[in-house]
Amino acid sequence: MITTYSDFRQKLKKYLDEVCESNSPLFVTRAKGKNIVVLSESDYESIMASLYLLKSPKNAERLQQGIEQYQQGKAQPRNLLEG
């Protein structure tokens, strides 16, 4: 979704509800100043968690190997242990 700053300001509640319901970012363009992106809190937290996990090269490599194994059909479903 993309809108102008003026439209965003006039329809703030509508746009915020859409961002949360669709899990899609909203790009807000401004004539004077840098554009902004509006995200839901859950999307922001997901991005930050991904960045944290990928910060370590060793961890990023292990995650990539896991993705490749999944794509090759080598993944095995497992039950989580409850503590």
Q: Give the pLDDT confidence score for residue 8 in this predicted structure.
A: 97
Q: Is residue 80 part of a domain?
A: no
Q: Is residue 48 part of a domain?
A: yes
Q: Is residue 62 part of a domain?
A: yes
- Give me the CATH number covering residue 10: 3.40.1620.10
Q: Is residue 77 part of a domain?
A: no
Q: What are phi and psi of 52, to 5 degrees?
A: -65, -45
Verify that 30 and 12 share a domain, yes or no.
yes
Q: What is the pTM for the complete model shown?
A: 0.69
52-60 average pLDDT score: 90
Minimum mean pLDDT range among 21-30, 41-50, 67-76 = 67-76
Q: Give the pLDDT confidence score for residue 83 in this predicted structure.
A: 60
Q: What is the mean pLDDT of the chain?
A: 92
- Could you tell me the residue range of the domain that residue 65 belongs to? 42-71
- Upper half-sphere CA count for residue 52 (Cβ side, 13 Å): 6
Name the one residue in this structure whose structure tokens are 């807000």. 28
Asked if the model's pLDDT at residue 79 lies above 90, the reply is no
Name the one residue in this structure whose structure tokens are 């859950």. 42
Verify that 32 and 47 share a domain, yes or no.
no
